[in-house]
Structure 1
Amino acid sequence: MRHIAIIGSGPAGYYTAEACQKQFGEDVAIDIIDRLPVPFGLVRTGVAPDHQSIKAVSRRYEAVALTDTVRFVGNLVIGRDVSIPELQGLYDAVILATGAPSDRPLGVPGDDLPGVIGSAAFVGWYNGHPDHADLAPRIDERDVVIIGNGNVALDCARILAKTARELEESDVVAHAYDILKKAQPRSITILGRRGPAQIAMTPKELGELGRLERASVHVDPADLPPTSVDEALEPGQRKSLALLRQFAEPSPEKVVAIRFDFFVVSERVEGEGRVERLVLERTRLDAQQQSIGTGERVTMPADLIISCIGYRTPPIPDVPYDEVRGRFANEEGRIRPGLYCVGWARRGPSGTIGTNKPDGFLIAEAIAADQPAAAGKQGRAGLDALIAERGLEIVTFRDWQKIDEAEIAQARLGAPREKFVRIADMVKAGRG
């Protein structure tokens, strides 16, 4: 029997488990280990709560989790409860699928002022991640600045701008719903260091901004490129640019204004005791379509800054780490003999949920090539012995099903669930 441990129960983890099942058949036992008592990672706490159709992919992971060869081991912290060297002593292969849940710092003077938060923290707050449940950002009658031109920036702006009615059928958690349904930002500004033709926003998500009840979207026509550039763009980019051109046309003002401000880069954050304004430098594009500073400075009011400029994989003791790229040091997923990484932990935060599927097959094939035969290690029996010896309280997938049932049962009217946001409450619900 070949024994494999996968650290992380998000999309990368479950796609890799599925790939290992197909690679090794019935002759494999896979333990999927997560520090939280609940599975599915980014699908649960990263995907926007009003995008329930995307969250439905968890049904595929559940089908994998309920097979005889796969086991979920929740509420087990690697590096605290069990070490990587210990796991390598027990399993033929250990695969790190921990994602990139930490915010990349804004990296300018003043970015440590209260009121400057990263998108992982803000998204985690409204999605019920235990690490961010106490964030409680100040929103009402505030000037909100969102830095970044990707879909996460759109998610943050959309959730801030939606009415209570528009959020009813989402699984935004109660502590965030209570604030969002009462709060109304004065303005929301989305900043990008390059121009409209270079945004990483997809048309579907961008188009959602134009259908909000209380928010109007505005683009400065002077920022738009000539239509002659469209032919060189990918189809999705052309559609997104067409939407931005629509937003640049005159339209009725609604109670919340969402404004795109292109060709700016953050220089410093200012304020007495908390953020009050953001100083920016105007940029332009060089011949390679990269942004360069012009020397012109502008200042805008900012009571809340949400930085959506990327993510990093947190280091784990005893694992080589690439500080520059913010991921585990690896060569095509290989870290050292018997230790691998997959998904964002391997390549950095890029791609969609589905991008992790071929990644999983890459690692399964690498394991087969590196280890033609199983080494006769203890696997899950050895892990269970360590857990018992140390008095650790783990959560199984059956326990998760009880948590799932409890969350669905306590949902507000119209919502799919009300998530537990405290680990102790999750564990208690898992005990039934």
Structure 2
Amino acid sequence: MVIFGSAKLISRAFSSLSSNPLRICIVGSGPAGFYTADKMLKAHEKAQVDILDRLPTPFGLVRTGVAPDHPETKIVMNQFTRVAKNDRCMFLGNVNLGSSVSLKELRNLYHVVVLAYGAESDRALGVPGEDLDGIYSAREFVWWYNGHPDCRNLAPDLESTDTAVILGQGNVALDVARILLRPTAELAITDIANQALSALERSSIRKVYLVGRRGPVQAACTAKELREILGVKDLYINIQEADFQKSTLDEEEMRTSRIQKRVYELLCKAATSKFVSPGAGQRELHFVFFRKPDRFLESEKRDGHVAAVHFEKTTLKVDSGRQVAAGTGEFEDIESRYVPVLVLKSIGYKSVPVDGLPFDLHRGVVPNLRGRVLKTTSDDHVLLEEGLYVCGWLKRGPTGIIATNLYCAEETVASIMEDLTQGPLASSSSLPKPGREGLLELLDDRKVTVLPFSAWEKIDSEEKRQGSLIQKPREKLSSWQELLKVGLE
């Protein structure tokens, strides 16, 4: 592979720092990574921060997770750009933790390593038929329409069915439903990936079911996201009136959560004020509550493809002070087993472990104390992993909005600063470490292509240039080959 400059040339450009800086490596360039870098640079005047990412492009889910019709949410990239251009900071793209460099090597090179690489896998339902064709995770679908290079070739079939079933009722589920139902003329002026826009323009999907295990009081979306999808032009909304019956516990939940109360009120209003029945050709959104998937049914006309979802009806029961869904033994299908459907699972993202990292496989997070990584010994003693920290979804699980990572980063950086002044790093941080120079030499030896932030600026410029030709804010480069070619020019 071609190296973007030699390690010596790249490191020389950043040689004006303190002769003995505090070497910090952050793995992951999404909001958690950039907020951590920003807070660390402000907290420690001798901190030299390197941000690694396996993608050639920075910004994580701000670029590949935020819906294309939410440009205001992406403005935070301007703040992250200022961090990346700080003299004491460097972005290194196309560097994969595990294959390019190991965690053990990073810990030897840096005083502090912060893992903020998020959640790039999916939770499984564990029900029969989950491997049938036509079933995708919402993460894959979101990456596809946002131009993530890993999902460029996903190619979901939107033309063989008029029905999509989305499992989940959180913000991601609503994003996916909105993209499927929104007029493509409105999407055409966003930064949606070209291959996704073309597929949506040909789409025959007219009915979308958003299915949740619990009731409208417990819907996991925010009022803002709900208002947006309810406002999609000429959309028929269907919600069963019986689902709005509230228990005493439901009333208590709404008294203690303004968000839950507002979501419930919006759903009630939508159920009573929209069209009585769908018109010819009108797109439909069906909110289905109190259902959990029991199994996926295979098409009798299209081998290996999903045709229906078999659901068990649920009721709410109290478990540890929380209302949870419990099966009732009653079942029903959405759609027949003849015509194929599109199924999207929006049931949660999952982080993945790397060698040398303590990991809770059940919860999908790294055991930690306010960001400090913890390990359990063979005799059940819990110890701190000196110099190793986590932030973001890897730390707390896949919850919260982009701003949640700001507070998460503040906590992790506070822990680092405590450890530097009066904890385990107080003495070791004074010893010199190879840091950036050592890492670049290692990557150079392994013939790893490293893309600094200047390479991203070339990609950014080219995407905006291509977008301007077709009245879009940008036309995303969505293949590894394109990204590397433009970044290396």
Normalized against structure 1, the TM-score is what?
0.96
Kept after mapping to 2: 8 A contact 1:2/1:375:
no
Deviations, residues 87-108 of structure 1 (Å, cap 9, x unaligned): 1111001110001121111221
Deviations, residues 45-83 of structure 1 (Å, cap 9, x unaligned): 001111000011111101111110110000011100111
2:316 matched residue in structure 1: 285
Q: CA deviation at 1:330?
A: 2.6
Map 1:10-409; keep pairs closer than 5 Å. Answer: 10-25=30-45, 27-140=46-159, 141-226=161-246, 229=251, 232-249=255-272, 251-252=274-275, 253-254=278-279, 255-271=282-298, 272-287=303-318, 288-301=322-335, 303-335=341-373, 336-370=385-419, 371-372=425-426, 373-409=429-465
Which stretch shifts more, 229-238 or 267-276? 229-238
Alignment partners' CA distance in 2, 1:168 and 1:425: 22
Secondary structure, aligned partner of 1:292: strand
Counterpart residue identity of residue 240, structure 2:
D
Counterpart residue identity of residue 139, structure 2:
A
Alignment partners' CA distance in 2, 1:96 and 1:172: 29
Deviations, residues 222-278 of structure 1 (Å, cap 9, x unaligned): 111349838525222222111111221163325211100100000001104110111
Kept after mapping to 1: 8 A contact 2:181/2:206:
no
**1:213/1:88 Cα in 2 relative to 1: closer, same or farther (>3 Å)?**
same
Alignment partners' CA distance in 1, 2:156 and 2:363: 29
Alignment partners' CA distance in 1, 2:456 and 2:52: 13
Alignment partners' CA distance in 2, 1:180 and 1:233: 40
Secondary structure, aligned partner of 1:350: coil
Q: CA deviation at 1:214?
A: 4.4
Secondary structure, aligned partner of 2:484: helix
Kept after mapping to 2: 8 A contact 1:197/1:225:
no
**1:86/1:227 Cα in 2 relative to 1: closer, same or farther (>3 Å)?**
closer
Q: CA deviation at 1:204?
A: 1.3
Alignment partners' CA distance in 2, 1:351 and 1:375: 37
Deviations, residues 128-176 of structure 1 (Å, cap 9, x unaligned): 1111111111123431100001011100000000112110222110000
2:379 matched residue in structure 1: none
Counting matched residue pairs gives 431
Q: Which runs of 4+ in 1 moved over 3 A?
A: none
Kept after mapping to 2: 8 A contact 1:163/1:214:
no
Alignment partners' CA distance in 2, 1:327 and 1:309: 16
Unaligned ranges ≥5, structure 2: 1-20, 374-384, 420-424
- Corresponding position: 1:431 with 2:484: no
Counterpart residue identity of residue 388, structure 1:
D
Alignment partners' CA distance in 1, 2:476 and 2:214: 38
Sequence identity, in percent?
Answer: 40
**1:248/1:233 Cα in 2 relative to 1: closer, same or farther (>3 Å)?**
farther
Alignment partners' CA distance in 1, 2:204 and 2:175: 16
Counterpart residue identity of residue 297, structure 2:
E
Which stretch shifts more, 295-304 or 3-12? 295-304
Which stretch shifts more, 293-302 or 114-123? 293-302
Alignment partners' CA distance in 2, 1:183 and 1:54: 27
Alignment partners' CA distance in 2, 1:131 and 1:123: 11
